[in-house]
Amino acid sequence: MAHEIKVPVLGESVTEGTIGEWLKQPGDRVEVDEPIASLETDKVAIEVPSPVAGVIGELKAAVGDTVEVGAVIATVEEGGAAASPAASAASTPPAPAPAASEEKAPDSAAPSDAAQTLSPAVRRAVLEHGIDPSAVKGTGKDGRLTKEDVLAAAKAKGDEPAAPAPAPSTAPAPSSSGASSGERKVERVKMTRMRQTIAKRLKSAQDTAALLTTFNDVDMTAVIEAREKYKELFAKKHDIKLGFMGFFAKAATLALKDVPSVNAQIDGEEIVYHDYVDISVAVSAPGGLVVPVVRDVDRKGFAQIEKDIADFGKRAKDGSLTMADMTGGTFTISNGGVFGSLMSTPIINPPQSAVLGLHRIEDRVVVVDGEMVIRPMMYIALSYDHRLIDGREAVTALKIIKDAIEDPTRMLIDL
């Protein structure tokens, strides 16, 4: 008996998605709830499971197709036997022809059959570095390969990336005597739905909000000393490392409670104030930056905050974040310091009204009690919507965060 596999409900206000990857092909055996496809939505990638155990029948959509919630994208024959490779290949929809600018990989880097289930980013890394995916242990969900797995294997191998074969070019190479003798290549890659949405939201924030940024610097001495003193006991008791984000999340909570407008948002002609603190924490995912929400930060301790953030980071890496993880949030913290940023002007995450930007820690000479001393300093930035938040309120909120980090005892006694 054939069962239809339909696009599931993708989340509030999300009505469609894009086929990002087929994890199963016609003739493949599939178990109950085993993922058969990956759908890219505006916020996250969602895996579509099979409702029954059986054999994949027809695929009714190709990679890159946009499909609406409830649409039939494949069929599965319940309890059927897996088809032979030849039969499977015969029933598989033909792959689209590569673009003229797409580079061909050398024969030595040809992927095995297992590579057909790799994500586009992982597949490109496999071809670029000449790695056999079947020889690399995946750390992603269900043992799937991630881009980081491939890069680690390439580093361990110690080889330079495999040189791609020349690709056909639609434009003639410059013939001037000063031109480079090597052929210059251009690759065109369609933006993912997530990247398109990120671009639209960031541009919308600039067009709608009256954005302004205020800066300060923080002496990280007290926090660093606290971490060094208690990190082993903390890890032993809570089974999680004590990081900087827990300190900044709790410090931000003090600021948001004292300056409610920084934790509010504009809805039409109304201002919505929140008596809770849900902090969106920006983390890197293969498809771009995502901001899952740590909820009720004002009610959680350092250990639970650190566990939540670590879990989000892991699930962002293996692509298992859900729409529920991304929904809501009253304030955002973005840490560009992990990438080496000294200073930046972060952009708000609509409909939120403010975002805290963290940066790298570096030793600098500062004046303390009339003497020049070397201290580990960090620049912090608060970007805010000036339609709602006055400059005095923004500066006050950032100063509260600075004071709490420089004297962590304030977080314990609610100062």
pLDDT higher than threshold 70 for residue 137 = yes
| One domain for residues 112 and 84 | no
pLDDT higher than threshold 50 for residue 101 = no
| One domain for residues 50 and 150 | no
Pick 178 or 8 by higher pLDDT.
8
Pick 386 or 66 by higher pLDDT.
386
**CA 81 to each of CA 2, 13, 88, 149, 287: distance values in angstroms, whole numbers, following the listed order:** 13, 39, 12, 33, 35
Sequence letter at residue 216 = N
Query: Which helix (H) or strand (E) covers residue 305, if one does?
Result: helix 302-318
Among 113, 296, 390, 407, the one annotated catalytic = 390
Predicted confidence at residue 174, as pLDDT, reads 53
| One domain for residues 302 and 397 | yes
Taking the CB of residue 216, how many other CB atoms lie within 10 A of it?
A: 15
Dist CA 394 CA 107 (whole Å): 58
Predicted confidence at residue 415, as pLDDT, reads 61
| One domain for residues 144 and 82 | no
Closest CA to 256 of 307, 325, 205, 332: 332
| One domain for residues 79 and 111 | no
Query: What total of structural domains would you count in the chain?
Result: 3
288 in a structural domain: yes
Pick 323 or 96 by higher pLDDT.
323
| One domain for residues 234 and 134 | no
Predicted confidence at residue 237, as pLDDT, reads 94
Query: Would residue 390 show up in a list of annotated catalytic residues for this protein?
Result: yes
Structural domain including 138 reads: 107-157
30 in a structural domain: yes
| One domain for residues 147 and 26 | no
| One domain for residues 141 and 217 | no
Using only the alpha carbons of the chain, give its radius of gyration.
Answer: 25
Pick 224 or 100 by higher pLDDT.
224
Query: Which range among 155-159, 166-170, 339-343, 372-376 shows the weakest confidence by mean pLDDT?
Result: 166-170
| One domain for residues 254 and 349 | yes
- Residue range 276-314, pLDDT digits in tens: 999 999 887 766 678 899 999 999 999 999 999 999 988
Angle of helix 221-238 relative to helix 391-406, nearest 10 degrees, comes to 70
Residue 118: give its domain's CATH number: 4.10.320
Q: Which residue, 61, 91, 121, sits at the end of a domain?
A: 91
Taking the CB of residue 96, how many other CB atoms lie within 10 A of it?
A: 9
188 in a structural domain: no
**CA 288 to each of CA 42, 281, 321: distance values in angstroms, whole numbers, following the listed order:** 11, 14, 13
Q: Which residue, 135, 157, 179, sits at the end of a domain?
A: 157
Query: CB–CB of 406/377 below 8 Å?
Result: no
59 in a structural domain: yes
The predicted model scores a pTM of 0.63
Predicted confidence at residue 295, as pLDDT, reads 95
pLDDT higher than threshold 60 for residue 113 = no
177 in a structural domain: no
| One domain for residues 361 and 214 | yes
Pick 178 or 223 by higher pLDDT.
223
Q: According to the per-residue pLDDT averaged within each range, which of 2-11, 283-292, 356-365 is highest? A: 356-365
- Residue range 180-212, pLDDT digits in tens: 567 898 888 877 777 777 788 778 888 888 999
Query: Would residue 278 show up in a list of annotated catalytic residues for this protein?
Result: no
Q: In the structure, what pLDDT confidence band is assigned to residue 80 with cuts at 50, 70 and 90? A: low
Residue 331: give its domain's CATH number: 3.30.559.10
Predicted confidence at residue 43, as pLDDT, reads 63
| One domain for residues 295 and 333 | yes
Among 113, 142, 296, 386, the one annotated catalytic = 386
Read off the pLDDT of each residue in 334-357 and give the average, rounded to a whole number.
92
| One domain for residues 236 and 337 | yes
Dist CA 398 CA 382 (whole Å): 7
